[in-house]
Amino acid sequence: MAEILLENTLSGRKEPFVPLHDKEVRMYTCGPTVYDSAHIGNFRTFVFQDVLRRFLLLRGYKMLHVMNLTDVDDRIIQNAAAAGINIADYTATHIKTFLEDMDALNIERPEHLIRATEHIEDMVALIERLAAKTITYTSEGSIYYRIAKFPGYGKLSKIDLAGIQPGARVELDRYEKNDARDFALWKAPKPGEHFWQTRIGPGRPGWHIECSAMAMKYLGETIDIHTGGVDLAFPHHENEIAQSEAATGKPFARFWLHAEHLIVEGEKMSKSLGNFFTLRDLFAKGYKPSTIRFLLASVPYRRQFNFTFDSLQQAASSVERLRNFVYRLQNEKFPEGNTPAMAARIQQAEDDFHHGLEDDLNTAQALAAVFDLVRDINTAIDLKNFRAGDAPRALIAMTIFDAIFAVLLDDDAEKLRALGLAAPEAAQIADAEIESLVAERQAARKRRNFKAADGIRAQLDERGIILEDTKDGGVRWKRK
Ligand code: AMP
Ligand code: ZN
Nearest to 427 by CA among 442, 412, 438, 437: 412
Atom of ligand 1 nearest to the CA of 228: 10
> Which pLDDT does position 426 carry in this prediction?
45
CA 258 to each of CA 9, 24, 79, 295: distance values in angstroms, whole numbers, following the listed order:
7, 21, 29, 18
106 lines ligand 1 (CB under 6 A): no
| C-beta separation of 352 from 396 below 8 A | no
Q: Which ligand is nearest the CA of 277, by number?
A: 1
Distance of alpha carbon 65 from alpha carbon 25, whole angstroms = 8
Nearest to 406 by CA among 54, 30, 21: 54
CA 406 to each of CA 54, 106, 232, 298: distance values in angstroms, whole numbers, following the listed order:
10, 7, 27, 12
Distance of alpha carbon 148 from alpha carbon 145, whole angstroms = 9
Which of 35, 36, 42, 72 gets mutated to test ligand 1 (max ligand atoms within 8 A of its CB)? 42
> Which pLDDT does position 178 carry in this prediction?
65
Distance of alpha carbon 462 from alpha carbon 152, whole angstroms = 64
Closest residue CA from atom 1 of ligand 1: 32
Distance of alpha carbon 101 from alpha carbon 91, whole angstroms = 15
- Centre of ligand 2 from the C-alpha of residue 236, in Å: 6
> Which pLDDT does position 480 carry in this prediction?
72
Please give all residues whose CB falls under 5 A of ion ligand 2, grouped by chain where several chains appear.
30, 211
Count other Cβ atoms within 10 Å, centred on residue 196: 18
Closest residue CA from atom 14 of ligand 1: 42
Going by the DSSP 8-state scheme, the letter that residue 165 receives in this structure is: P
Nearest to 313 by CA among 208, 410, 436, 204: 436
- Centre of ligand 1 from the C-alpha of residue 42, in Å: 4
Nearest to 133 by CA among 142, 120, 146, 124: 146
Closest residue CA from atom 7 of ligand 1: 42
**Helix (H, G, I), strand (E, B), or coil: what is residue 339?**
coil
- The pTM score is 0.88
76 lines ligand 1 (CB under 6 A): no
* Rg of the chain in Å (alpha carbons): 26
261 lines ligand 1 (CB under 6 A): yes
- Centre of ligand 1 from the C-alpha of residue 271, in Å: 15
Closest residue CA from atom 15 of ligand 1: 42
In this structure, which amino acid lies at residue 54? Answer: R
| C-beta separation of 218 from 66 below 8 A | yes
Measured CA angle at 131 (ends 125, 133), to 5 deg: 115
Question: 83 — alpha (psi -120 to 50), left (phi > 0) or beta?
Answer: alpha
Which of 28, 231, 232, 238 gets mutated to test ligand 1 (max ligand atoms within 8 A of its CB)? 231
Distance of alpha carbon 49 from alpha carbon 63, whole angstroms = 12
Going by the DSSP 8-state scheme, the letter that residue 206 receives in this structure is: -
- pLDDT per position in the chain (480 positions), as tens? 899 999 999 999 999 999 999 999 999 999 999 999 999 999 999 999 999 999 999 999 999 999 999 999 988 998 998 899 999 999 999 999 999 999 999 999 999 999 999 999 999 999 999 999 999 999 999 999 999 999 999 999 998 776 666 677 887 777 766 667 899 999 999 888 889 999 999 999 999 999 999 999 999 999 999 999 999 999 999 999 999 999 999 999 999 999 999 999 999 998 888 899 999 999 999 999 999 999 999 999 999 999 999 999 999 999 999 999 999 999 999 999 999 999 999 999 999 999 999 999 999 999 999 999 999 999 999 999 999 999 999 999 999 999 999 999 999 999 999 998 876 654 567 777 788 888 888 888 888 888 888 888 888 887 778 898 888 888 888 877
**Helix (H, G, I), strand (E, B), or coil: what is residue 73?**
coil
Distance of alpha carbon 409 from alpha carbon 199, whole angstroms = 51
**CB contact set of 441 (below 8 Å; sequence gap of 6+):** 452, 453, 456, 457, 467, 475
231 lines ligand 1 (CB under 6 A): yes
